[in-house]
Structure 1
Amino acid sequence: MRFALLCLSLALSASPSWGQEALGLASPDEVARSGLLKHILPRFSLKTGIRVVADDAGPMQIVTDAPGEPVFQRDGTIYLLRTEDDPRQQRFRDWLLSEIGKRTVESFQPPEGAPFSASFEVAAASVAPVVSGNAALGEKLSLAHCGRCHVIGPQNRMNGLGSTPSFPVLRSLPDWNNRFQQFYALNPHPAFTQVEGVTPPFNPERPPPIHPVSITLGDLEAIVAFVTAMQAADLGAPLQFQ
């Protein structure tokens, strides 16, 4: 009897803790109907003890338009994940972007239609973005708001943090436009950035760790216009191994 109780106790301690409120994840109908979420969510929950369920009103969202981080694609449609500044949501994001999460997505065999892919190499080439912002204003805003951490150009080449990529380096990346358009949703920016009419207010219990950055969508368009006109850094040819 004692042995049976011991086994039961060990089994319960090794099981996920369902006492916490489940995290809701909203998704487009085509993703929900495919069965993908029924495949990946229980596996994440069993791995981490964090319960995530499909919920159209959930705080996490899978969407097809920015902002968000690309997590998988199907039939040419790229799906992005939007999360809030919540440790459990960030844990789900990190898992979904990890090699284990990607393999879990790609191991799903839908009953009909094409499979999902978590690889985005084929999406590197894209149509040149249409820019309508004021580049001169964007330069001033970049120096004022972003120059604390990033080297913007010759104007502040002696400033910035050594661990933070410069604007010219970021401009050289294939996905530079998405990175700038969605910067406020990419860590560590959500902790101190507010975009008028887009981002939720800061949690009073978790104030920004540094002086907050407050901009409008018009300001963001100006910054993107400035970066669009910028000369990308020449990072040289890829290393060749023999």
Structure 2
Amino acid sequence: MPRKAPLLPAAFALLVALPSPGEAAGDAEKGRQIAVDHCSRCHVVPDYDPYGGIDSTPSFRLLARRDDYLERFQTFFERPPHPVVVRIPGVEPPTDDPAFVATFQIQPEQVDDIVAYAKKLHAEQ
């Protein structure tokens, strides 16, 4: 089965539309709720599932401690295994293969919300 073109052009277009790290316009509380609703099945989300997540998957708090946390949160949808699981209108999945878990869809502006939540976690460190 032929593979689709890489996500890079669509992901780049989405990133260009996002605010730069210093000007994220997202809502941290909305970002937390997105994390609770969708990300907590693999990641520990502070004050929600301290003993949840998958052992091999970093927690949101740990990711927010990294020097490159903003880039990681702004581009999470293109980092494996997210491209198979997360659907964003205008960004093609990297393959026609079925997802190994239930997929979910977020809007491009919701990436801003997740980034705002990450910035809040980073500031709490």
Q: TM-score range, shorter-chain basis?
A: 0.7 to 0.9
Conserved? CA contact 1:151–1:159, under 8 Å = yes
| CA distance, structure 2, for counterparts of residue 152 and residue 61 of structure 1 | 27
CA contact (8 A) 1:138 1:222 kept: yes
State the Cα distance separating 1:136 from its structure 2 match: 1.0
Shift of 1:129: 2.3
Match of 1:200 among 81, 85, 92: 92
Query: In percent, how many aligned pairs have the same letter?
Result: 28
Pair 1:230-2:84 in alignment: no
1:173-201 Cα deviation digits (max 9, x unpaired):
1111111111111111111111122x115
**Which one has the largest radius of gyration?**
1
TM-score, length of structure 1 as denominator length: 0.42
Task: Give the aligned residue type for 2:86.
Answer: T
Distance 1:190 1:61 in 2: 8
Aligned to 1:171: 64
Q: How does 1:138-217 map to 2 (within 5 A)?
A: 138-197=31-90, 199-201=91-93, 203-204=95-96, 206-217=97-108
RMSD: 2.7
Q: Which has the larger strand fraction?
A: 1
**Residue 220 (1) aligns with residue 104 (2):** no
More contact order relative to length (CA 8 Å, sep ≥ 6): 2
Give every structure 1 segment of 4 or more consecutive aligned residues whose post-TM-superposition deviation is greater than 4 Å.
60-63, 201-204, 231-234
Structure 2, unaligned runs of 5 or more: 14-19
Q: Give SS of 1:228's match.
A: helix
> What runs of 5+ residues in structure 1 fail to find an aligned partner?
1-58, 68-126, 235-242
| Number of equivalent positions | 114
